[in-house]
Amino acid sequence: MERPHRTIGQTDQLPTDLPVEELTRRANAFLEKNDFVQAYLYVSRLAEHEEADPQAGVTAGLLALTLNKKDEAARHFRHARDRAPDNFDANYNLALLDIAAGNFDEAA
């Protein structure tokens, strides 16, 4: 039996009123199953939530990289850095993406 095609990044399919705790619970449940596509949907929504820890943006960025979505990863890392400018993980991963793209001045 064929599995239905899943589109990455369709957070509009998620309920909009889920609290941070529920988004976190659902994301973790999918991560435990190594279902990175579904986990990414919840972590992406979580990363945009004002009450969420900025580290959620880093996690969303790492999941985006896992799913080969470099532009989305960079967006999440930037958002995390904007919320927490000293966040080592956000800055480090942004620098790695910049280096990989040949943007050495941006990486510095």
Which pLDDT value is given to residue 5? 38
Query: CB 43: neighbour CB atoms within 10 A?
Result: 30
Domains and CATH numbers, the chain: 18-107 (1.25.40.10)
Q: Minimal CA–CA distance to 61: which of 86, 85, 92?
A: 92
Angle value at C-alpha 85, between 88 and 63, nearest 5 degrees: 55
Can you tell me which residue has the tokens 């890392």?
77
81, 87 Cβ separation under 8 angstroms: yes
**pLDDT tens by residue, the chain, 108 residues:** 443 434 444 555 777 789 999 999 999 999 999 999 999 999 999 999 988 899 999 999 999 999 999 999 999 999 999 999 999 999 999 999 999 999 999 887
User: What residues have CB less than 8 Å from 63, skipping those under 6 apart?
Assistant: 36, 39, 40, 43, 44
b (16+ CB within 10 A) / e for 94-103: bbebbeeeee
Which pLDDT value is given to residue 11? 53
What's the whole-model pTM score? 0.83
Angle value at C-alpha 34, between 101 and 39, nearest 5 degrees: 70
List phi, psi (to 5°) of 3. -80, 145
Which pLDDT value is given to residue 33? 98
Which pLDDT value is given to residue 4? 41
